[in-house]
């Protein structure tokens, strides 16, 4: 093997190793997720791909309207399921569902992102505890969310924040 061929080979190997390192670092901090179902319509549909920051909430707390990937476990499922939902309640919030509308701390929440503004679900009152958030789908009539399984733990059930819709 000539010196030129050896340098070319080592250059190629170095390029492959650097590329693999960059990709592994990227996927350590981020993940790609696929939306399953229509619970987030009209903004997100079945099959849409999103980029998720895995460590976003290690640096700051969730905020209203953040889109998050959560891990949902149910006795009906063989394995935990990942879901995309919108944060509508933060620790300390008093949420009330009245006449199909969401009230946060006695103030009607404007939700222009909803698929249907006329939603029917039972009236109820929820207090979000410290370390938890209340999440809901934008397609309220077709969403399994905190109305069904309760508040979710920020540290153990939120996988990350959706930061970009890819396609």
User: Which of the following is catalytic: 53, 85, 143, 146?
Assistant: 85
User: Which of the following is catalytic: 7, 24, 36, 39?
Assistant: 39
- Residues 6 or more apart whose CB falls under 8 angstroms from that of 72 comprise 80, 81, 82, 83, 144, 149, 157
Strands 49-53 and 30-34: antiparallel
Burial 26-58 (b: 16+ CB within 10 A, else e): eeeebbebebebbbbbebbeeebebebbbebbe
39 is catalytic: yes
Closest CA to 68 of 42, 89, 47: 89
Residues classed as catalytic: 39, 85
């Amino acid at each position: 093997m000539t010196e030129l061929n050896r340098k070319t080979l080592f250059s190629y190997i170095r390029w492959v190793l650097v590329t693999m390192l960059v990709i592994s670092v990227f996927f350590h901090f981020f993940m790609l997720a696929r939306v399953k179902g229509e619970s987030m319509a009209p903004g997100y549909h079945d099959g849409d791909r999103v980029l998720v920051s895995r460590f976003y909430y290690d640096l700051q707390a969730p905020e209203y309207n953040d889109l998050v990937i959560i891990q949902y476990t149910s006795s009906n499922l063989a394995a935990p399921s990942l879901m995309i939902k919108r944060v509508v309640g933060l620790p300390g919030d008093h949420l009330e569902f009245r006449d199909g509308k969401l009230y946060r701390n006695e103030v009607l929440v404007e939700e222009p992102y909803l698929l249907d503004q006329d939603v029917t679900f039972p009236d109820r009152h929820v207090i979000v505890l410290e370390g938890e958030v209340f999440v809901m789908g934008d397609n309220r009539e077709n969403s399994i969310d905190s109305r069904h399984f309760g508040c979710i733990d920020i540290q153990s059930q939120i996988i990350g924040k959706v930061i970009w819709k890819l396609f």
